[in-house]
Structure 1
Amino acid sequence: MDDFVTERLVLHPMTVSEAERVVAGESDSDARWAPGYPAEGDVSAARRLLDTCAISGDPQPFGNYEIRRREDGRAIGGVGFHGPPDENGSVTIGYGLVLSARGAGHASEALRGLLLIAREHGVTRVKGNADHANIASQRVMAAAGMRPAGEDERVRYFEITWADTVADTDARA
């Protein structure tokens, strides 16, 4: 699968070898990691990708993406799906950025890109959640077009739904 390019970012589909390096915390000569990358969430997502690949093969486009800045190619975080769409066409997402990249709209931009990928591949609903105290993450989902969909004692849930989906992957605006 090709990289997905936004205004300031590249969403790079993570490969097995890249996931193995993230889990090991070992960059190679081609990988350029911003300070703080990979964070705990990136390592967890890479492990999930490796487990999925071992069990059922490469999940792309419903896998993990490294968030890279277009200006310097440095990985500043990750965004991705927790698995393929369920029987109702629904997926759950997650994302995170290194501390130095926060507050500049990168997470919302990356999430908007991921939502486009989901829609282009027939997803009808995308779900996410954030702890009540994580106001920044709630703002990211809202800025990307997701709306509050409930809450429990620990988290606030967000979602976006589409009645129509875009089947053509070249239909990016």
Structure 2
Amino acid sequence: MTREPISASKHVRFVELGAKALRALADGDLAGGSAAAGVALDEHFVSERARSIFRYRADQLDSDPSAAPWTARAAVSEPDGVVVGDAGFHGPPDEAGMVEVGFTVVPRYRRQGYARAMLRALLVRAAAEPGVRTVRARVRADNTASLATIAGFGFTRVGEQGNEHDGLVIVFEVPADAIRTE
């Protein structure tokens, strides 16, 4: 397969993955999740890791439906309309005005600029929200691709965390009023 060079010209739009889509995906129902989302999702959306995350997000929306505008989205490449990954925030801004970004690119679309396009779109959204003061990104120390993705967007390393499941995770933050998206 030929890969396009990484480019700042990649564009994505987000399609909400509502509670119905998230539940279907958490149950491994790709067709049901795609129908509920209104876009053709990839097998990536029913991987074991994705199912666990989508189950958590569905539970989150069950307990707080107002979190829906902040959580899981399918990332659709523009103008071709192909779903290239998922992205969103871990929830609405907390009491300090912090939101945390998360994004994953479908494996066959990696290293083509989509992660940067997703992050750029998330940061633009966060910077436009009056209640957001800080954007956080947590990246596994061994995830060189994600570390490279956040470079250039003004993030500063503010700490690290570790656990048995994820290993060492580096915590980065950028003030919303200092977000650079180019």
2:122 to 114, 132, 135: 114
Return the TM-score normalized by structure 2: 0.76
Deviation at 1:67, TM superposition (A): 1.0
CA change 1:136–1:164 in 2 (3 A) is: closer
How far apart, in 1, do the equivalents of 2:73 and 2:99 lie? Answer: 15
Q: Which residue of 2 aligns with 1:130?
A: 139
2:172 to 149, 154, 158: 158
CA change 1:131–1:107 in 2 (3 A) is: same
| Paired residues for 1:27-38 under 5 Å | 27-28=30-31, 30-38=38-46
2:29 to 26, 31, 48: 26
Q: Percent identity?
A: 26
Alignment: residue pair count: 160
CA contact (8 A) 1:11 1:66 kept: yes
Structure 1 or 2: more helix by fraction: 2
1:52 is aligned to 2:60: yes
Q: Which residue of 1 aligns with 2:157?
A: 148
CA contact (8 A) 1:61 1:117 kept: no
Provide the alpha-carbon RMSD of the alignment. 2.4
Higher deviation after alignment, 68-77 or 126-135: 68-77
Deviation at 1:66, TM superposition (A): 1.0
How far apart, in 1, do the equivalents of 2:80 and 2:19 lie? Answer: 23
CA change 1:33–1:72 in 2 (3 A) is: farther
Higher deviation after alignment, 24-33 or 79-88: 24-33
Return the TM-score normalized by structure 1: 0.79
CA change 1:79–1:157 in 2 (3 A) is: same
How far apart, in 2, do the equivalents of 1:21 and 1:11 lie? Answer: 19
